[in-house]
A and B are shown apart, each in its own frame.
Chain A
Amino acid sequence: MSIKTSILIIINSLIAFVIVVLAFSSYKEFSNVLNDRILQQLNSIKTLKKNQIEHLIQSEWQKFESSELYNQNSDSIPFILPDSIKKINGIHDFTRYHPNKKTTIGFILNTKKGALIKILEYNKIKNILFERTGMGSSGESYLVGSDYRLRSESRFYPNTIPYTLSVKAENAIKAFKGKDVFNIRKDYRGIEVYGVSSRIEIKNLKMAILSEIDVDEVTLPLKNLKERLAGLTFGIFLLAVMLSLFLTRIITNPIKNMQKSLKIMAEGDYNQTNDFIKNSTEIKEMFDALANLKASLQGAIKFSDDIGKMNLTTDYQLKSTNDLLGKSLLAMRDKLIEFRNNEENTRILSQRMLVNGMENERRRLSRELHDSVGPYLTSLKHYIENKVENEKIKKEMKKIVDDTIAEIRLMSNALMPAAIDDFGIGVTLTNFIENIKKSTTVTIVYEDLTKQENSNITNHQAINLFRISQELINNSLKHSNAKNIRITLSEFDEFMSLFYFDDGIGFDVTTIKLGLGISNIKERVAICNGKVTINAAAGNTTFEIELPIES
């Protein structure tokens, strides 16, 4: 689930919960208060009417009792009362005896003149009951007899004889037992009402007064409230959803952008330069951190790229002490340097061994020619001197042998001059160049500035310097058209320097191939741990070769 959805669900469900709880509790509270108010009001109306009715009946009774003049004879009564009733003095409910079951309350007084009976004027009671102040549009008060049938006229069924309407027993039962009742119940119409009931406290008159008001009327404001609350809830919820949508946009857009950036970076592209709207300090800092991360990654990438190209002199600044990537890259570079050095050392070592082996072989061959073949040839010459009688042949033969010996000497010197072992490089080069001078018109000047005694040039270095000089002179004579060659070999305490100059046509250092033996020279300098500087300008070609004194 995305952050946006989560935030929306959390915020909105929280808001919805709060609103619903608030609305529900306020509704409940309001409804309770309303109930209480209604019942209290009903009760007070009922009590007032009860008292009024009681007072009316009592006062009518007293009037009846005191003025015998108005006493009605029982004959005047339009219905027949059973004798058992007639014998009881007091106020009675005669309704059930009325032929039309019209509500009738009557007084009975047995005097010396016989039983006096008076019917109370029903309208007086009706006026009291129909007094509707505080009863709303559906409220009514009515009387109920002990048979649970109505005694007073129903407002709702004005043409129906009240006696024919009966209430549910439980609504009146408690009232008859002398208890005041407050509750919500169904009335005689079967409609939900708030109702209170109470017994009329008059001797012999078994009647209860009930005040009721329709639940629908009472709860009308509640319904309105409910609707308004629902509307309000819905409105607030709608507002909350909109606000939260806006809020999540503010929060999630940068996160989405960040996610986008990170995705691009995860794909390995660190060069994206998207600008994002940064609408808060935290988000700005987050993007700054992202930019820093990107920059440091780019640095690391550039560095690893350099390492990959074996540019091992590149350095990398650690971003912090915890820059593990940088540290491992540096460690990798150091390892690579180590590997390369090892490889270079191994390569130079094997090259050196190869060259040494070759030079040893040349030395052996050179010695063999010089010290074995040479003496045999001299012996041959002695033999000729001793045995050949013919002077002419003797002379010719001796000449051939001498030429052969001279050739052997040249070959031996070219292979490896014995002087290099016996006299060192300085003298060897002197001899070598003296010999070359015999066969060329090029002016060669060699200056030997090596130490005559206690020279620190090793045999290995001497051989390589000799080979390099051989190669250089050979190149100059073959390719350069030089008129002058100058060679200086200087030996110092710390190093030796072979300086070679010719005034030939020069060559292109960058395009020169193996042909001129330049790489051979470089190789030999390398295996002696030396360095070579080549300047191949026409008319001024120089080689500066420097080897360290190994002591």
Chain B
Amino acid sequence: MNEIKLIIADDHKLFREGLEGLLKKHDNIKIIKSVADGDEFIDIVKNQLVADIVLLDITMPNRDGFQVLKELKTLNSTIKPIVISMYDDGNYIAKCAKLGAYGYLLKNTDESELILAIKTVSKGKKYFSPEISEKMINFMSTQSISENVLSNKETEVLGLLSKGLTTNEIAAKLYVSSRTIETHRANILKKLEVKNTAELIKKAAEMNLI
């Protein structure tokens, strides 16, 4: 089995040393470099240092984990990043996944899981534990990104408008203020390029929005 060449990028010396101590016990994992910030890491990447995996912290001086992920993408680097962070919120995980992280680990992850993640990623697979995955998915499910002309909320407002509900009724139903509904309505009118509610219903029907 090939030796896995590893870089650790974290600003905490104590953490790096602890991690090194932990990984030293595993013969097929070799820590070839340990850096304290993002810039330093990108420098060695640019110097064509050959490595398989980087254990990357998000919170670092000079260049944080997110920027490093972006830079790796730009540089078309073959180094596979595993983010190892204190943050356990879905948004951090989702963002890292989106930026090309191969795995996401919490810093207090058990040794066994850490090794499993390194090994999985070294085979070119991604590793997200069930808990991490759940957090990520929970987060992403709250994000209502619509590909349509109207946002999801605007489509909802439009539907209620077409049923003949007043602004106040819609506001109460959607748990927003009346002014919010008025603004949504105004934005819908603008987006569909119509002047009043009657025209709006007609056009929306034509566009199959309702």
Enumerate chain A interface residues (CB-CB to B < 8 A). Answer: 370-372, 374-383, 385-386, 398, 401-402, 405, 409, 417-419, 422-423, 427, 430-431, 434, 445-449, 452, 486-488, 490, 492, 494-495, 497, 499, 501, 533, 544, 546
**Complex interface: chain A residues within 8 A of B169 (CB):** none
Is there an interface contact between B14 and A431, defined as CB atoms closer than 8 Å?
no
Is there an interface contact between B107 and A431, defined as CB atoms closer than 8 Å?
no
CA distance A474 to B98 in the complex (A): 33
A446 to chain B, nearest CB (A): 7
Q: Which A-B residue pairs are the 10 nearest by beta carbons? A: A382-B18, A486-B175, A544-B177, A375-B12, A378-B107, A379-B18, A379-B14, A431-B89, A375-B15, A374-B86
Number of A-B contacts (CB under 8 A): 121
Is there an interface contact between B59 and A371, defined as CB atoms closer than 8 Å?
yes
Is there an interface contact between A427 and B177, defined as CB atoms closer than 8 Å?
no
The CB with the most chain A CB atoms within 10 A, among B14, B91, B139, is that of: B91
* Listed A/B pairs (8) with beta-carbon separation below 8 Å: A376-B14, A379-B12, A379-B18, A422-B66, A422-B92, A427-B91, A490-B184, A497-B179
The CB with the most chain A CB atoms within 10 A, among B25, B86, B139, B153, is that of: B86
Is there an interface contact between A490 and B14, defined as CB atoms closer than 8 Å?
no
Is there an interface contact between A501 and B175, defined as CB atoms closer than 8 Å?
yes
Is there an interface contact between A430 and B18, defined as CB atoms closer than 8 Å?
no
Q: Which residue of the partner chain B has the closest CB to A494?
A: B183
A370 and B86 in contact, given A449-B151, A449-B153 (Cβ under 8 angstroms): yes
Is there an interface contact between B179 and A378, defined as CB atoms closer than 8 Å?
no
Q: Which residue of the partner chain A has the closest CB to B107?
A: A378
CA distance A450 to B151 in the complex (A): 11
CA distance A378 to B143 in the complex (A): 32
Enumerate chain B interface residues (CB-CB to A < 8 A). Answer: 10, 12, 14-15, 17-19, 21-22, 25, 59, 66, 86-92, 95, 107-108, 110-111, 138-139, 142-145, 151, 153, 174-177, 179-180, 183-184, 187
Q: Which residue of the partner chain B has the closest CB to A395?
A: B110
Q: Which of B22, B88, B177 contacts A497 (CB 8 A)?
A: B177
A476 to chain B, nearest CB (A): 13
CA distance A497 to B111 in the complex (A): 46
Is there an interface contact between B179 and A546, defined as CB atoms closer than 8 Å?
yes
CA distance A417 to B92 in the complex (A): 12
A301 to chain B, nearest CB (A): 41
Q: Which of B92, B110, B143, B180 contacts A488 (CB 8 A)?
A: B180
Q: Which of A385, A417, A490 contacts B111 (CB 8 A)?
A: A385
A378 and B183 in contact, given A419-B92, A427-B91, A430-B142 (Cβ under 8 angstroms): no
**Complex interface: chain A residues within 8 A of B145 (CB):** 452
Is there an interface contact between A490 and B138, defined as CB atoms closer than 8 Å?
no
B206 to chain A, nearest CB (A): 26
B55 to chain A, nearest CB (A): 12
Q: Which residue of the partner chain B has the closest CB to A434?
A: B138
CA distance A544 to B168 in the complex (A): 13
**Complex interface: chain B residues within 8 A of A488 (CB):** 174-176, 180
Q: Which residue of the partner chain B has the closest CB to A499?
A: B176
B89 to chain A, nearest CB (A): 4
